Structure 1
């Protein structure tokens, strides 16, 4: 009775909170512009429609002197021509190449060469004879080399870097192509000027090298089992719609036969103001910004945009079962077709996804994961404009077949259809979404992202603001009716099996001559933008004596920062014991989620936390084990009391431990099938040698010998280790300490402690090659070299060097290896700083290339490691980027505490950014040359390489150094 009263009270509070507010579209005029807004919108978003149809959405928030900006186009792979799939995606790539005003040294001389390339591609696409095609492509390559002499590669990226932008990128999906930048507020005039020019008349220069980067991206997708599963699922769910008929990146045939004319036609058709939106959130005056956008974009002309039309899909009457074979671990993916995002049932569909999985108390969470019947399982609703999907995925545990996994998932669907779940779960979901909405409105980045997603998905923002209110009106009967209406035998299941891929496609390497990038040149337009006046923000440095407060609770230090913005709290107990002290500490941290007390089962514990919109988690790192409790401050005392009750009264469960160990052993086997994990292991091997942090783990024998009681003892003994208490929330410090005194009993002196295993970084005298064989199209190579012990005096130089050398798209590494030589989609190189004062720096370089480019790619990186190009303009950009990042960075909330703790690990007693800011202007090219000579040039490296031994030969590897082919057991330690 008490529980039911609490549930109704929570529901009343949530519904009443939103019922007090009406969510209506309203109109207002300010600064000479009329806009719409939704009443009681926490993001205070303004929706403008300019005369040419351009949508502008502005959400001002003054916390950080930065702006997250998106230029979004409502066109993606759904609207690709059937004869030119992937077009929207590679057009996205080309929007970084400039116009007739920037990206060019001499447009008058460049244009005739680009016209020749246009014509050559049209001839190339109409030619079927391979010998003739090869000859035409040779001409394309030749003319491209001439045209590149007039081009300035990466001038957009450099331009954005010069104004202090971060996260400059773009992405393409089914219905959208979105260009993203995070810029300082002081650079808003520059940003708007650049974007207006960028979309005025883009020039498709340096096309064949950029298309080669898209080829590389395609090959990465062909190497990805998860990508193949996703595409197979959608191809079988949507046989009459481009969601399934086409992929975003396109077919190999279409990628090999691009038409620049059709790319321009696509731009002219869809990149029109009435089909575009500019979305911004951050520190700005909306009246000023809308006037500037209007003035800059007013010359764009509206045009009718063709509407995508499609046939309705035929009903799926019996399950469609497909198989994918590849090197990754086995898994099952299922999809049920749902209506598009305008349908009245979509809100219920969202709730259905949460009822199945919410990470804590969903049907899959409690009945399958919590009970350890599967290694993992989750579900979510993936809703697009025209159709939606209930997407489920699960991984088998030891000895399970994928058919058994499917049966378990379908069993939970049946529970949903029968209503076999607690009605209070809906109330709990609403409470937790309410909390998520608070998080969503906290930062300018998340605000802008939510507004952008709503725009490209053509959602009514009023419905998004009223989302929690509307969701709270849904009943259990609504959920059950929905499940019975849409979730029958009408699903597609993709069984991902382990094995060698057959009939593997591959985009073959064309003959490409490196193009000119003219990295030391600058167009008049860029100089004009650089010269535009701006008033940069003053940096704000932390003062550890003022920006966080300290207290004590028993022997524990309490570190405190108040939350003055909302009702969220985050509390952590940080214990000084980690895996380097005790490998079983991590096992105990994972074990607790499956344990109950004498009064509550593990499932009941999850439900109780979820009901009060709070959560707890225990995680173990190398040196610390952290208990994290977070949620709504109103429920702080309940959450802390609930956790303390659990930790003090947990009971050993032999059956749960047996299942956990079986699942761990299965996940360890699966991990050995992941190329990402293999590369991580190779990297650790290169840094520390055969005995390293990656393979320092419990053996299967140790796992099997572990008892329930010893793990429970570890959990109950946590409080006897040295600890720090970290709090960010609304409660005053004195009240926090007083409240915790009652529940969290910290001893007057700590009685537990254990020695820490040490790992020393190694420094081989000669080049070494660590190789792991993997069934893949690409070859992934890392360069690793340990150098000196941490020295804070080098921080400024290292920050500048990383920006200059290989830390971004405007860097030397990226410009040379990707832009000029078209050898990789992804490449970087930087000097990694340690996390502790007694650790060493190390170099980390990377190139992911086609296997048939392996030699050229490694040669290109080695050339840069031995010879540093001197580009004074790039150095100015690198220093400017470092400086502007510091000017606009605001470390807030519990980030202040964690920054302080990291500084302590490095032996620092003040914010290191202050030193960097004061020194950065004094860094000279001679300093970079000296640094490069001392730590890079002519030095021995360890190459960590993951590739197929059928595509990269031993002879190729031996040219790099002494080769050691590592087994998975050597890499993983089991």
Structure 2
């Protein structure tokens, strides 16, 4: 339920909502009736979406597709943080969390005894909310904690999640943003009757049980945002772009003051106001008959009664007449963000904004891509259209390279805006964007999940589906003058907000302190009658489909190299990979050469021209050098297959050394390496690698500063020119057969008479976890992050079924033992999990991993709680049977398709397996008992040694407490990063 993550991605989805699926078609709204239900649809819509409006006003959007026996479902409410009461911000997000707690029918073992206690808690929170005296507030909270403990004895924690898990659901979650709260599930197609029964009950009359522990999870979420400079920049940006609109006046997660003073009465009133059928939508895409499905949905939700939705005051914003400049301070590297305001999602100008965003940044040939990224004038830069219902925003962000000020970054970004106004761009760029949108929209229609996502965002933003489908045709008519006029109107040199992210200590942070919470019961063995009724409902079985590596993959030869392919029978897209069984372990400059390639040209073409050529073809290339494997990836339209491959082959074989480009790259790389030391996630990755492999490990297997300084352009060019002289494979998913592919490759991918063998000169070996130890890295943060790492035994294929079932039961989801205990019962973390990890190749060892991200003042309690679970496995036969059922249903409805078949085969080869291991898991899981996973836990986890990787502020986590866990080693950044 990560709202802040959703905030960062929703705009790209919203922008995608403007994108159609076909070109040159006649799109018209029509009406039809089938099975007694009238619906609207758009002609020539590849999603075949049907739009129903039920008698009570509920919108139902159905997009059937038979590719996978699963269904992506969104239950969406047109209400989010912008409709929060001004005196209870964060309320929509609170409510989202509480919609997982059940009703009077499920989530309770005895509702008649639970209800009076919940009523008492309601009254106590109202008293707490209205009391200002801190001493009295503490006394009230003690009573809340006491009564909550009594009420929890009758609650069944995570019963919703258990029902979903037992159905084989995937991605059980929800998100809240400015104007939407959305509940998401990906379910097997055969459990839809059970699913709808649960959803109908879920939204009937939710009970706000286990509130004080869930509120603590929201506190944790707030504190995580305080540790994220990006979130703080975003909040400041919107506060200044929208001083009169709730986009800027209210944050989705709410203020600390309001978090500390919740009102269950206000939450219930919000639900009764906005969770009504005429303000909600059920969006489904997947394997179903729409005539049957609409009748099922109608039956499930017909009890809902429509209500008048309160009028929402958008809040008119005044024009910005002079740049608004603000600052944010924090430990992350410096950057600057610029924001321009635009009209809302349903307007033509918002669609134009999406086009303009692509003109600035499209990853290949946008103005910022070519002028600032390709020419290495900045460490990084991009433009990002953020399309929302009331208003839209164009965000530009840039990171300085070494010795560069944020003012210089700002000037460079504004110069690109100026080029739009002056028309300093090729009109061909517009047509190239059209070509790439065509390809992008084919990709979006491939998967049922992405179809549902687009349709859902259109619904919550009130975007007309026909308008979306007409987007490509609309932008194909846009002229250069149209862009210039648009930029002159909205992108002026003085009508923006600039937020400078400075490096330093943020002394204004006020974290949400932990209240005293007594752990509550989770009642794992209990089941409500409702759950039993759901379990008893009939369902048709789905037959699993296993991969047959001999039949599903065409195996050809091109000279001495293997060509593995799977035919694309759905559309005209291809993906081709050149795969090398070697990476940076054996050649530390290979990743640098791969990155350097994007800045190079040939004798006949500049680097900029090559990027434009790829983008014009709606194609792209990437070179990724991992630890032990390297991939060259080419993708695009089948009609441009030969041109795409020829363009890349010419580049990699004939690229010319450019010392100036290398010097700029080195400067930027040093800056990026310095920035990495300021990122807590990257620091933690380094600690984990240190825990696995010791002081010399894959993470710090990089060039030293001296080695980097000594590197010459010719060194990198030699690696690139020589790449295809080594043994490799060709992997392909596309419209060509294996024979057609090899015939097409032969004149393009010309190989030497004899390929060189890849030399594996370096191997990192996992070290024994022979004693408890702590690896600590200081970082100025509110929270503390702890990873448990243990290296176990070499790979053993026979334990795979046990591992799969154990992970489902122990630490893999919101219904798991770890989540229930650490978050639901003890309210110690927003995010926590644990799993047993099988290696990627048979020579490596298994690993045990566990994680808690918690407030620093809960460090001792959190580590104690996880260690208790690692030492003693709680037993719940009910949860065990749910985990077993869910595992089999997930596997039965899973379909590995496209190039996923090839990658699955390659993984199996590395592990020494000759067949689809899922078959063994599926057939063995029913035979496993709880005693089997108990024995597994005792053997692998109980009483074992662990390396604790801790990233936290040394001022907030006591060293003496860490020493109780094991020998403490404080690592400096040079030890972690290797430079």
TM over 0.5: yes
**SS of the counterpart of 1:574?**
strand
Distance in 1 (alpha carbons) for counterparts of 2:769 and 2:786: 18
| Pick aligned residue for 2:37 from 33, 55, 58 | 33
1:458 aligned residue: 462
Alignment of 1:244-393 (within 5 A): 244-393=248-397
SS in structure 2 of the partner of residue 772 of structure 1? strand
Partner of 2:585: helix, strand, or coil? Answer: coil
Q: Which residue of 2 aligns with 1:946?
A: 951
Contact 1:671 1:677 in 2 (8 A): yes
**Among candidates 716, 723, 733, match of residue 718 of structure 1:** 723
* CA distance in 2 between partners of 1:625 and 1:717 (Å): 14
Aligned partner (choices 763, 769, 793) of residue 768 of structure 2: 763
State the match for 1:485 in structure 2: 489
Aligned residues: 960
Q: 1:84 & 1:699 partners in 2: Cα distance?
A: 53
Hey, what's the Cα distance between the residues in 2 that align with 1:771 and 1:349?
46
Q: CA deviation at 1:17?
A: 11
Give secondary structure in 2 for the equivalent of 1:37.
strand
Residue 153 (str. 1) matches residue 120 (str. 2): no
| Partner Cα separation in structure 2 for residue 781 and residue 647 of structure 1 | 43
**Contact 2:423/2:480 (CA < 8 Å) preserved in 1?**
yes
Of 943, 950, 962 in structure 2, the residue corresponding to residue 957 of structure 1 is 962
| Equivalent position SS for 1:449 | helix
Deviation at 1:20, TM superposition (A): 4.2
TM-aligned CA deviation for residue 240 of structure 1 = 0.4
- Tell me: CA distance 1:20–1:603, structure 2 relative to 1, closer, same or farther (3 Å): closer
Does the 8 Å CA contact 1:153/1:518 hold for their aligned counterparts? yes
Match of 1:886 among 866, 884, 891: 891
Q: What SS is found at the alignment partner of 1:841?
A: strand
> Would you say 1:176 and 2:192 are equivalent positions?
no
**Structure 1: which 5+ residue stretches go unaligned?**
1-14
- Does 1:227 pair with 2:223? no
Residues 860-939 of structure 1 mapped to structure 2, 5 A cutoff: 860-939=865-944
Deviations along 1:666-697, one digit per CA (max 9) or x if unpaired, are 00000100000011111111111111111111
What is the deviation of 1:732?
2.3
Match of 1:110 among 109, 114, 120: 114
Aligned to 2:689: 684
Determine the structure 1 residue equivalent to 2:10.
none
Which residue of structure 2 lines up, in the alignment, with residue 76 of structure 1?
Answer: 80
Q: Distance in 2 between matches of 1:464 and 1:319?
A: 33
Q: Kindly provide the CA deviation profile for residues 278-308 of structure 1, in whole angstroms up to 9, marking residues without a partner as x.
A: 0000001111110011011111000000121
Q: Helix, strand or coil for the counterpart of 1:921? A: helix
Counterparts of 1:324-723 in structure 2 under 5 Å?
324-488=328-492, 489-723=494-728
Give secondary structure in 1 for the equivalent of 2:660. helix
> C-alpha separation between the residues in 2 aligned to 1:434 and 1:224?
36
Contact 2:21 2:442 in 1 (8 A): no
What is the distance in 2 between the residues matched to 1:392 and 1:17? 28
Q: Report how far residue 380 of structure 1 moved.
A: 1.7
CA deviations 1:46-87 (Å, max 9, x no partner) are 000000000000000000000000000000000000000000
In 2, the alpha carbon distance for the partners of 1:936 and 1:178 equals: 38
Pick from 827, 830, 851 the counterpart of residue 825 of structure 1: 830
Measured in 2, the distance between the counterparts of 1:756 and 1:237 equals 55
Matches of 2:72 and 2:609 in 1, distance apart?
A: 41
Distance 1:770 1:640 in 2: 47
Q: Tell me how far 1:648 sits from its aligned partner.
A: 2.0
> What does residue range 124-143 of structure 1 map to in structure 2 within 5 Å?
124-143=128-147
State the alpha-carbon separation in 1 of the partners of residues 558 and 470 from structure 2: 42
Name the SS for the 2:104 alignment partner: coil
1:727 equivalenced with 2:702 (yes/no): no
Asked if the contact 1:160–1:168 (Cα under 8 Å) also holds between the matched residues in 2, the reply is yes
Whether the 8 Å CA contact 1:341–1:383 is kept in 2: the answer is yes
1:878: Cα distance to partner?
1.3
Specify the alignment match of 1:6 in structure 2.
Answer: none
Correspondence for 1:10: none
Q: For the aligned residues, what is the CA RMSD?
A: 1.1
Contact 2:314–2:390 under 8 Å retained in 1: no
Unaligned 5+ runs, structure 2 = 1-18
Measured in 1, the distance between the counterparts of 2:461 and 2:368 equals 28
* Rounded Cα–Cα distance in structure 2 between residues aligned with 1:868 and 1:766: 22
> SS of 1:267's equivalent?
helix
Instruction: Write the distance in 1 (CA, Å) between the matches of 2:871 and 2:671.
Output: 44
Matched, 1:208 2:212: yes
User: 1:576, 1:815 → 2: CA distance?
Assistant: 42
Paired residues of 2:564 and 2:738 also in contact (CA < 8 A): no
| More displaced stretch, 253-262 vs 726-735 | 726-735
Q: 1:752 deviation in Å?
A: 4.8
TM superposition shift of 1:840: 0.3
Deviation readout 1:789-808 (Å, 9 max, x if unpaired)? 00000000000111111111
Query: Does the 8 A contact of 2:565 with 2:737 survive in 1?
Result: no
C-alpha deviation, 1:16, in angstroms: 14
1:763 offset after TM fit, Å?
Answer: 1.6
Shift of 1:637: 1.0
Secondary structure of 1:743's counterpart equals coil
TM-score normalised to the size of structure 2?
0.97
